[in-house]
Amino acid sequence: MAIRGKVWKFGDNIDTDQIIPARYLNTSDPNELAKHVMEDSEHGNFAKEHKKGDIILAGKNFGCGSSREHAPVAIKYAGVPVVVAKSFARIFYRNAINIGLPIVEAPEDFIDKTDHGDEIEVDLEKGVIKNLTKGFSANFKPIPPEVAEILRAGGLMNYAKDKLLKKEG
């Protein structure tokens, strides 16, 4: 599971209101949410200017604030294949896995040395992240096999349905 993309770099404490502002929570349409992702963040132009496959790289405590599942949904449906941060808010971490959005806690020095616009590659199962623009890499704790299965299934609900169908079949 290697993912490659251009970095959109964000700072510390990006809360769920910055990821998907509360004024858009009157819809659960994931494609509509994606149109407004990161709108109230330091890169308010993200939804309009990012390309599918671009990667969000952030500081500490990404996804803090309310426990809204809309936040990782908006990111996933915007075409972001992985979010890399120094650390994540616990509920955001769980919500991301539940909806099938890969997230990685990378070493601080890797994130500090990586700039907006750099190209990186994240190998979820090997636990290696590479900055292809600048030519350095770092290790992180690989995603556990059970979590990798959930991500491959597209989220916890799909994973559970697959398991139930195999059990019944």
Q: How far apart are CA 88 and CA 33, in angstroms?
A: 21
* pTM greater than 0.85: yes
Query: For position 41, what pLDDT does the model report?
Result: 92
Buried b (16+ CB within 10 A) or exposed e, 83-109: bbbbbbbebbbbbbbbbbbbbbbbeee
pLDDT digits 0-9 by tens, 11-25: 999 999 999 999 999
User: Residue 129: what pLDDT?
Assistant: 98
Q: How is residue 60 written in tokens?
A: 């500490």
What pLDDT was estimated at residue 169? Answer: 60
